[in-house]
Amino acid sequence: MPEPAYRERRFTAPDGLGLYFRDYGDPGSAATPVLCLGGLTRNAKDFDALARRVARERRVLCPDLRGRGRSDYDPNWRNYHPATYLNDIAHLLTVADVHRVVVVGTSLGGVLAMAMGASMPSALAGAVLNDIGPEIERGGLEPILSYIRVDRPQPNWESAVRTIRTLLPDLVYQDEAMFEAMARNTYREGDDGLLHFDWDVNIVKPALADRGATPDLWPLFRGLRPIPLLAFRGEASKLLTADCFSRMARERPDASTITVPRTGHAPTLDEPECVAALDAFLREL
C-alpha cells in the first residue's frame, strides 16, 4: 500500500480550541518549508495539488484555520479575527518545530502573510500573495460575504456545482473541471446525508460588524520589502483591481507579479502560469 501523501495532525490553541493541519513532505528536508494559508472560508484541501508537488523537495504545512474544515468551530465568533489566526499560526509553527517558512497566502491568507511580516518577521523567508493586496475592493467582497453567511445544503455534488455557479456568477476558471474541485473543497457530507458548507457560517460576523471599515493595508505590504515576494492576480478578479496590482508592482519592482489569464478570484495556483512561477520562486529560497 502506498504511503499517504500527508500526515494528519492536530494541536490545541492557547484558548483550548482543537486545530487541524496537513503535514506533507520530509520534516528533515534542508529546504525551507512552505506554509499554505487559505481564503476566508477555505481549508487545506485547496492546496493539495500544490502541496503534493512541492513536497517532493520540502515540507509543506496546510492548516485549517479555526472554524474551517476539520478544525473546531469557535463558540465565540469574535475570535474569528486576524489577531487570533496569527496567534494560532505561531503555535502551529512551534508544534511543527518550524522556525522559517515561505508563506503562500490566498485572499485572507495573503493578508495574514502580510501581517506575519509585522508580527513575526524573522519567520518569513518569502511570501506569495494570491489575488490579494493592500486594497480590498468592497464591490468584490460583498457578494462573497452574502454567499458564505448562510448554509445552503445540497443533495448531491452536481447540485453543489450548480449552486456555486449561481451564487458566484463572477467565478472564473481556466478549466471547467476546476468547478467540481471547488465544490468538493467547499462542501462536506453531513450526518443528514446532505452536503453542507465546510465552515462555520459565523466566521462572517466580524466582517459584517466592520462592514463600513476599509483597512489601510499598505503599511503591512511595505513591511514585506526585505522579503522575497511573488504576487498573483486573477485577470477577472473583482477583489484585487488591476490598478492596485500595478501599484504593488511599482512599489516592489524586485517582486514577480503575474496576472493569471481566464481566472477570477482567486487562482487555484494549479494553473500552468502559477505552477511555473511558484516553482521558480521556491528554487531561489
- Mean pLDDT of all residues in 71-94: 97
Q: Which residues pair with 189 in a beta bridge?
A: 195
pLDDT for the residue 212: 61
Task: Tell the residue number behind the cell numbers 485572499, with chain if given.
Answer: 107
Whether residue 65 contacts residue 71, with contact meaning beta carbons closer than 8 Å, is answered with yes
Q: Which three cell numbers stand for residue 117?
A: 511580516
Q: In what order do the strands lie in the sheet with 60-64?
A: 6-12, 18-24, 60-64, 34-37, 101-106, 124-130, 229-234, 256-260
What is the pTM assigned to this prediction? Answer: 0.96
Has residue 267 got a pLDDT over 70?
A: yes
pLDDT tens-digit readout, 141-182: 888 888 889 999 999 999 999 999 888 877 888 888 888 999
Residues 6+ apart with CB under 8 A from 238: 137, 139, 140, 170, 264, 265
Q: State the greatest distance between any 2 C-alpha atoms of the chain, in Å, as a whole number.
A: 54
Number of C-beta neighbours around residue 65 at 10 A: 28
Whether residue 234 contacts residue 172, with contact meaning beta carbons closer than 8 Å, is answered with yes
- The residue type at 143: P
* pLDDT level of residue 63 (50, 70, 90 thresholds): very high
Q: Which residues pair with 230 in a beta bridge?
A: 128, 256
pLDDT for the residue 168: 82
- Mean pLDDT of all residues in 133-140: 88
Number of C-beta neighbours around residue 45 at 10 A: 20
pLDDT tens-digit readout, 174-230: 888 888 999 999 999 999 999 999 999 999 999 888 766 677 899 999 999 999 999
Higher pLDDT, 146 or 48: 48
Instruction: Could you list the beta-strand ranges (E) of the chain.
Output: 6-12, 18-24, 34-37, 60-64, 101-106, 124-130, 187-189, 195-197, 229-234, 256-260
pLDDT tens-digit readout, 225-259: 999 999 999 999 999 999 999 999 999 999 999 99
pLDDT for the residue 138: 80
Residues 6+ apart with CB under 8 A from 157: 180, 183, 184, 187, 195
- Counting beta carbons within 10 angstroms of the beta carbon of residue 151, is it exposed (0 to 12), middle (13 to 18) or buried (19 or more)? middle
Could you give all domains of the chain from N- to C-terminal order, each with its CATH number?
Answer: 6-138+214-283 (3.40.50.1820)
What whole-number percentage of the chain has pLDDT above 90?
85
pLDDT tens-digit readout, 6-42: 999 999 999 999 999 999 999 999 999 999 999 999 9
| Nearest CA among 140, 141, 154, 232 for reference residue 186 | 154
The vertex-56 CA angle with 26 and 268, nearest 5°, equals: 115
What does the mean pLDDT of the chain come to? 94
Has residue 79 got a pLDDT over 90?
A: yes
pLDDT for the residue 209: 84
* pLDDT level of residue 2 (50, 70, 90 thresholds): low
Q: Which three cell numbers stand for residue 271?
A: 494553473
